Structure 1
Amino acid sequence: MDINDNIDSPLELKISFNKLIEEYEALSNSEDAFTSNRANYILQLARDYPELRDGFSDVSVLETRKDVIKTILQDSFSPILTKNEIKTASVPFHNFIFNSSTRFNSILKTAGEDFQLQMKNMPEDDVYIISCTIILNFCYGFNLSFKRPFYYEIPDADGILRFYKILYNADFCEIIPKENAIEITQSDYDELLDNFENIELWKKKFPPNSYVFKGFVISNIFDVTDDQSISNIKTSLIGDKKRQDDEFSGEFHDVFRSLFGISDLKVGFSIYNQDEGFFERVYGSGMNSYLIGDKASKTCSDALCNSSYDRLLRESKFISISDVEGMFNNNEVPPPHIKSLYSQGVKSAIFAPIANEEGLMGIIEIVSGTPKVLNSINANKLIDVMPFIVSAVERTKSEEENLVEAIIQQECTSIHPSVKWRFAKEAKNFIKAELHGQKPSFKKIAFDNVYPLFGQIDIKGSSIARNTATKRDLTLQLSAARSLFEKASKKDALPIFEQLIYQINEYLADLNKNFQVDSEQQISAFLNEDIEPVFRHVRASYELKEEIDQYFESINEKGNTFYFHRKDYDDSIIKINREMTSLLDEKQLDAQAMYPHFFERFKTDGVEHNMYIGESITKEDSFNPIFLYNLRLWQLQVMCEMENAYYQKQSEWPVQLDVASMILVFNQPLSISFRMDEKQFDVDGTYNARYEIVKKRVDKAFIKGTNKRVTEKGKITIVYSQKQDEREYLGYVKFLQSKNYLDTDIEIVELEDLQAVTGLKAIRVSVLYHKAKDDKEYYTYDDLMKEIKA
């Protein structure tokens, strides 16, 4: 076997001891007799076996000359130190070792027969280029450094990975150009500096096997497990992998096992909630808390004894329990953290505070199922890693706060991306003014000449549905109360029982005949102030404890009344709004990709949305009316899709409600500004205020000369005032009819006058529905209802 087999390299490798023998030639003239005699002895061996000096690549020579080679290398591999030093002799960038110390051999033997020695950090794809950089240094004197730390990862007897750093001694190497070597000039060097990854260029300058490597390298190897473990912990904490990642969790446990040298070691965390005085678990894959066990949180007093509390929270010092079982058995009332550890099978543990200048943030928990292996002595290993853990927790807290802020922004007071640039610009001006010692103020943010679009999908009869649910809940509660008093009367016919039954019957009759706005309030007051105090007396005296307890369990804490039918109604509204906003938000991504514009939506009894499009929002000289027309058509189509999505899901909701959709067309550009007090955009100017009046009232408007609302279930209503708007939208309607979004029953109606607004008209057209997303059939609203009920 030749060591150059299957190697693509500019270097032809030859094992040679020439440079080492040259050192002995110098030592042969030493005044020290022992040194000179030893050197002459080595030189005589070298003369007898010239191939050791000339170099060879046939590995069989190593076997036939092994005794001679061992003698030549004896000074480099001292027999006195061989059991302590970790050392090898090899050729560079090759896992071929031909001499090694006793300790290195012992380490490999412990790793097992199946273990394959592999150098870490060795970039296999770049070995050719790295060899070229070595040639540049050796042969041409260029000071080009490519020094990277190389490691072996070798398991010990317990299967724990230990890390060994390799330091090369290249004193006994030489590189000699062959006939096919190309002379490297300064310009060649300059070109190579900017082309590290261009392998073809490097091969052109350094053809394969164009140089001879003669010699060998001595690898001095050091156990750096502690240092590398600390580095790996740091890398884990600052890396991109998240705590929900199974791989991250496993690797994190492994590096701590290497640091402590304990195979069954586990790591837990608990977060300290200072505001509430709780320890809380960290949620994520493989993230346990041995301090609080399987609970979501624990008060500090329930998790720790007083002395441990003081040490961890007040002194910010670690605590260690080397023998959990012994402490549990030797205490009549074991401390709470000992009970928690004992119940989880932990035999020894270390708790260390994660704290900064502001105080405690959490606890890192190192545990083992083996007694005594964790103790106050090796707890000091944590000192070197705690700064990284503290930094990681600080960063995580900051990220969580940013995420919370982002969610609040998204759900409550979000600044739409289309206008965020304007807020950022003003914020920078604010900061500049403050830095220059001026009194900063956040100036008005306004956008002129923008076109508005408004749409809503409104739940029809929501007030009636809620009133019906309220009446049913109150009827249920009054009936339950009456039944309890009737049972109490049978045991003791007190007049107060009869009087309360009479009042209950009056309220029940009134509910059926005349439910007013204040009826709910009156009945709730009666139930809370008159009924409940009597029930508390009856509960103790009339053997109705279970039934009265059931009555109180049925009461909603917020409203102090039964909450069954209203819950169904509220749940339906929540689910409807969630479904509709989700679809609208998804569709908005496509619309923004067409042309950026401002968008906001609101959850009411249904979903409303505002859009504004124009030059001042996009910040670019690119606006064209075609983008407005495109957005109008998009809006009409999406409203049809939302109607379809609603009725496809309707059967899943507790209360079956209908919806009606409306679009308001306003063809004049207007100005909008951000109102800091309400954290939202509003229109500017008296004339523009007309638009807001119409938005708020138009869906309740009647068709002129009728008592019929302009919005109707099963139809899309498009409200406008200009003839050109009518022509434009009739074109959109015709297009969507061709795509089976809309029916052919177009009607144009006039609206009765609103306050300060006259001349409004509306196009009304029925939506065509599909029973499912992939359903090719389409139906009118009435057809769909028949199909659903069939």
Structure 2
Amino acid sequence: MVDLNDNLESPFFLKLSFNKYLNQFEKLIQSDNEIVRVNARRKLDIAKQNPILRDGFSDLSYLKTYKEEIQEILQDVFNPLLTLNEIKTASAPFHQVIFNSTERFDNIINVAGKDFELEIKNMPKDDMYIIMCTIILSRCYGYNINIKRPFFYEIPDAKGIMHYYKILLNADFIEIIPKEGTPKITEEDFDTLLDNFENIELWKEKFPQNSYIVKGFVISNIFDVTDDQSISNVKSTLIGEEKRNDESFMEDFHEIFRSLLDLKDIKVGFSIYNKEEDTFERVYGAGMNSYLLNQLDANRCTGALCGRSYNTLLKEKKFYTVSDVDKYYKISKGKAPQYKTLQDQNIKSAILAPIANDEGLMGILEIVSHEPKVLNSINANKLVDVMPFIVSAVERSKNEEVNLIEAIIQKECTSIHPSVHWKFEKEARNFIKDQLKGQKPSFNKIAFDDVYPLYGQIDIKGSSNARNWATQQDIKTQLTAAKDILEEVNQVQQLPIYEQYIYQIDEYLNEIDLHFQVDSEQQISLFFNNDIHPILRHIGKSNIMASEIAIYFENIHTKVNAVYHHRKKYDDTIAYINKEMASLLDKKQQDAQLMYPHYFERYKTDGVEHNMYVGESITKEESFNLMYLYNLRLWQLQVMCEMENAYYNMRSNFPVALDVASMILVFNQPLSVSFRMDEKQFDVDGTYNARYEIVKKRVDKAYIKGTTERVTQKGKISIIYSQKEDEKEYIRYIKFLQSKHLLDTDVEIVELQDLQAVTGLKALRVSVLYHRDDNDKEFYTYDDLMKEINA
């Protein structure tokens, strides 16, 4: 037995019943028309003989038992004379259980195929319980709540073209009866429910499951609205962002036009009109094509169109249709370029529709088919209603593209951080205001006074040595491979020149091992390009050592024209480190901005460096307090610990095992920064403030006083400072992070060797404690971690 209420969570207990429908015939017995009276009595007699039709049932097997009786009593609704014209169904309430329908509906469903499942596309399933409750409020309590919305079926025809059918639901023959003991809804309840549509638990409390009996059935009158819906779909499809990158966008667009034109074999393309150069250009995006350009990225309009089509599209801004491409190609003797281009793509008919506004042509909508005559000047008129939406979308797209270009320029070519954007905007407004007043406008200096700097870096230790080692290994590999080939060739074909090249290779191999210099790489590269490679190619042509020489050149990287194995591993490692460290820092920065707005920039070298400036002049509001500076300093130190941990947790993924060292520079005096228009970046103002920039550039290479030991060391964070109060402040932070097991207890204070024009610098150095992940309670020193990694 299949019951209507199986697996249905609702305030209703559903029963299929014809009671309310049959009550209409009780009135018709009194009709003056004898035919009407006889018909009414016949319906009522059937109901009297089968009381279950009035009482109702939820067991769907009764639909088969009483099939003839149900058809008989519904004959007035389903007129046999209109069965091939009307699309109509009778179904159970809140179910897709259809038990009576017209032949036209049945034919539509049969054509859709065996695998097709009928479904109301925009039925709000998640809110169905609440919608049922609103029906109770309206039917049982008289509260007028309008929550109606149009419903649709999407059903394909025999050609696979999607058709859209609007459903008008007639629920006049439904009764809703509260069960005994069902709680009544008060006005106070109603007022509460009005403000709590999303609170499903509240609705279930006021309307318990199965607390109301629903008896009756629903009549659905269905209408084919494919044309209207296709136009609506064009509009909704064109609204929204990032459509070009959506893989499904163009396929959806094709389907919409197939439905609109009732043609399966059509495709849609676009080309953009460049007025300045009088050219058509391809629109780039997922699945986008231009049938007017074929394989070209751009073409002059006179090269894509004949004189007549050019005048129709560009001057008159009218549709240009080609019902039979082959026919018109022959008539034009192949001289009309649009027919030649379409024929090359096996296109047999086409509609070219100008996308134009009051300012002129913006592009061409191209609809094409591989069948002749299916696209023509008659069905082209169906596009009239959709072109305004396409025009609006192209206008919006052009404006968005301008804005996007400006945004990319700002992001990629300038350093206008969001925290200072307000100042640039303010000066830009003043610039425009002066321009409108007829004054000579000038963009005033962008400067921020009394801001506190914070600087930090996580630097790759020994990157130069690692790069040199990788270079040496690649060169030795290449030299050895060339030497092996030349020695083999010399045994077959003894020539003094081979011996001379072998001698030169040995010299280079010795030089690499003993004293590899800066210019060694360039000298050896010239040796390969000018001497070795030409002779190897010559030898290869004579089939001597041909396979070995082919393998040699296969190992030569095309871009650097050399063996690029170890260097690639090194370069990939540096790029990976920079990418991951920068990504982590950017993510952490978002949290820091929420603590207090400040200027931030970071850049990649052999590692990642970052600058921060915080102060009243940047935030624009009178809200700055030194507490925010101290908070950012603590945040910075903690983030450096986290970046160290993140680095060593991912180091096993790197092609080359490198170490990093972290450093923070403390500068406790506020300074001024300004935007340098020539370099498009912020820099410090004034001679005194320039000392900060000098220290930044040189301090990571500084030595501890009286030693040859660099201040920055792997496994440690070095905090550079000059004032005693800075030392005290950071010792407090270190103690706090020691309590969180982020830093070790081996704090040391060292003096730095004097730098050029900078003296009196000190450093706090402390080892980082490492964790396997955020939840790891264990912690390791650098040496412990290396033992774990190398175990």
C-alpha displacement of 1:522: 2.8
C-alpha displacement of 1:399: 4.8
C-alpha displacement of 1:456: 0.7
2:770 counterpart of 1:780: no
C-alpha displacement of 1:517: 2.3
The verdict on how the C-alpha distance between 1:702 and 1:41 changes in structure 2, with shifts beyond 3 A counting, is: closer
Which runs of 5 or more residues in structure 2 are unaligned? 1-10, 22-32, 44-53, 57-67, 140-145, 171-194, 203-218
2:538 alignment partner AA: V
TM-score, normalised on structure 2?
0.69
The verdict on how the C-alpha distance between 1:565 and 1:319 changes in structure 2, with shifts beyond 3 A counting, is: farther
1:726 alignment partner AA: E
Contact 1:488 1:538 in 2 (8 A): no
Aligned to 1:525: 526
In structure 1, how many angstroms separate the alpha carbons of the residues matched to 2:323 and 2:165? 31
Contact 1:354 1:390 in 2 (8 A): no
Question: After superposition, where does 1:184-263 map in structure 2 within 5 Å?
Answer: 223-239=224-240, 252=253, 254-262=255-263
1:677 alignment partner AA: D
Aligned to 1:543: 543
C-alpha displacement of 1:475: 2.8
Aligned to 1:752: 753
Aligned to 1:568: 569
Contact 1:313 1:353 in 2 (8 A): no
C-alpha displacement of 1:625: 1.1
Aligned to 1:422: 423
Question: After superposition, where does 1:338-487 map in structure 2 within 5 Å?
Answer: 374-376=374-376, 378=379, 381-382=382-383, 384-389=385-390, 391-392=392-393, 395=396, 399=400, 406=407, 409-410=410-411, 413-486=414-487, 487=489
Superposed CA deviations along residues 51-88 of structure 1, whole A, max 9, x for unmatched, are xxxxxx999xxx99x99999xx9xx9999999778899
Contact 1:353 1:360 in 2 (8 A): no
Contact 2:490 2:499 in 1 (8 A): no
In structure 1, how many angstroms separate the alpha carbons of the residues matched to 2:535 and 2:731? 65
Aligned sequence identity (%) = 56
C-alpha displacement of 1:447: 1.1
Aligned to 1:138: none
1:612 alignment partner AA: Y
C-alpha displacement of 1:409: 4.5
Question: After superposition, where does 1:534-683 map in structure 2 within 5 Å?
Answer: 534-535=534-535, 538-539=538-539, 542-544=542-544, 546=546, 547-683=548-684
DSSP 3-state at the match of 1:449: strand
2:690 alignment partner AA: A
Question: After superposition, where does 1:287-302 map in structure 2 within 5 Å?
Answer: 287=287
The verdict on how the C-alpha distance between 1:96 and 1:649 changes in structure 2, with shifts beyond 3 A counting, is: closer
C-alpha displacement of 1:704: 1.1
1:535 alignment partner AA: I
2:670 alignment partner AA: P
2:694 counterpart of 1:693: yes
The verdict on how the C-alpha distance between 1:366 and 1:491 changes in structure 2, with shifts beyond 3 A counting, is: same
C-alpha displacement of 1:674: 1.1
Contact 2:250 2:288 in 1 (8 A): no
The verdict on how the C-alpha distance between 1:432 and 1:256 changes in structure 2, with shifts beyond 3 A counting, is: same
C-alpha displacement of 1:514: 2.4
In structure 2, how many angstroms separate the alpha carbons of the residues matched to 1:425 and 1:703? 47
DSSP 3-state at the match of 1:628: helix
Moved more, 311-320 or 247-256: 311-320
DSSP 3-state at the match of 1:762: strand
2:414 alignment partner AA: T
C-alpha displacement of 1:159: 6.6
Superposed CA deviations along residues 639-690 of structure 1, whole A, max 9, x for unmatched, are 1111111122222212221111111100011111111222211111111111
In structure 2, how many angstroms separate the alpha carbons of the residues matched to 1:148 and 1:626? 55
Aligned to 2:179: none
Aligned to 2:60: none
Contact 1:320 1:374 in 2 (8 A): no
The verdict on how the C-alpha distance between 1:443 and 1:146 changes in structure 2, with shifts beyond 3 A counting, is: same
In structure 1, how many angstroms separate the alpha carbons of the residues matched to 2:482 and 2:95? 89
1:459 alignment partner AA: I
The verdict on how the C-alpha distance between 1:562 and 1:280 changes in structure 2, with shifts beyond 3 A counting, is: farther
Superposed CA deviations along residues 20-51 of structure 1, whole A, max 9, x for unmatched, are xxxxxxxxxxxxxxxxxxx99999999xx9xx
C-alpha displacement of 1:380: 5.6
Question: After superposition, where does 1:274-293 map in structure 2 within 5 Å?
Answer: 282-283=285-286, 287=287
Q: C-alpha root-mean-square deviation of aligned residues, in Å?
A: 6.5
1:776 alignment partner AA: E
Aligned to 1:716: 717
DSSP 3-state at the match of 1:718: strand
In structure 2, how many angstroms separate the alpha carbons of the residues matched to 1:721 and 1:769? 29
C-alpha displacement of 1:440: 2.5
In structure 1, how many angstroms separate the alpha carbons of the residues matched to 2:356 and 2:496? 68
C-alpha displacement of 1:626: 1.2
Superposed CA deviations along residues 257-289 of structure 1, whole A, max 9, x for unmatched, are 4223346x5756577899999968743xxx486
In structure 1, how many angstroms separate the alpha carbons of the residues matched to 2:197 and 2:714? 69
Aligned to 1:24: none
Contact 1:430 1:441 in 2 (8 A): yes
Contact 2:485 2:545 in 1 (8 A): no
Superposed CA deviations along residues 675-710 of structure 1, whole A, max 9, x for unmatched, are 122221111111111100100011111111112111
Contact 1:491 1:542 in 2 (8 A): no
Superposed CA deviations along residues 426-447 of structure 1, whole A, max 9, x for unmatched, are 2222222233333332221111
C-alpha displacement of 1:638: 1.1
DSSP 3-state at the match of 2:563: coil
Aligned to 1:493: 495
The verdict on how the C-alpha distance between 1:364 and 1:489 changes in structure 2, with shifts beyond 3 A counting, is: farther
In structure 2, how many angstroms separate the alpha carbons of the residues matched to 1:151 and 1:645? 53
In structure 1, how many angstroms separate the alpha carbons of the residues matched to 2:633 and 2:480? 53
TM-score, normalised on structure 1?
0.69
Which runs of 5 or more residues in structure 1 are unaligned? 1-5, 17-38, 50-56, 135-144, 170-193, 201-217, 342-346
DSSP 3-state at the match of 1:622: coil
1:233 alignment partner AA: V
Contact 2:369 2:375 in 1 (8 A): no
Contact 1:408 1:414 in 2 (8 A): no
C-alpha displacement of 1:102: 9.4
The verdict on how the C-alpha distance between 1:614 and 1:105 changes in structure 2, with shifts beyond 3 A counting, is: same
C-alpha displacement of 1:387: 4.9
2:779 alignment partner AA: E
1:662 alignment partner AA: M
1:631 alignment partner AA: L
Superposed CA deviations along residues 539-587 of structure 1, whole A, max 9, x for unmatched, are 4654358444554454445444332222111111101111111111111
In structure 1, how many angstroms separate the alpha carbons of the residues matched to 2:748 and 2:442? 52
Moved more, 544-553 or 413-422: 544-553
1:744 alignment partner AA: T
C-alpha displacement of 1:462: 1.1
2:727 alignment partner AA: E
Contact 1:271 1:282 in 2 (8 A): no
The verdict on how the C-alpha distance between 1:408 and 1:562 changes in structure 2, with shifts beyond 3 A counting, is: farther
DSSP 3-state at the match of 1:755: coil
The verdict on how the C-alpha distance between 1:762 and 1:338 changes in structure 2, with shifts beyond 3 A counting, is: same
In structure 2, how many angstroms separate the alpha carbons of the residues matched to 1:118 and 1:550? 62
Aligned to 1:137: none
C-alpha displacement of 1:367: 5.9
Contact 1:554 1:562 in 2 (8 A): yes
C-alpha displacement of 1:763: 0.8
DSSP 3-state at the match of 1:621: coil
Contact 2:588 2:639 in 1 (8 A): yes
Contact 1:229 1:259 in 2 (8 A): yes
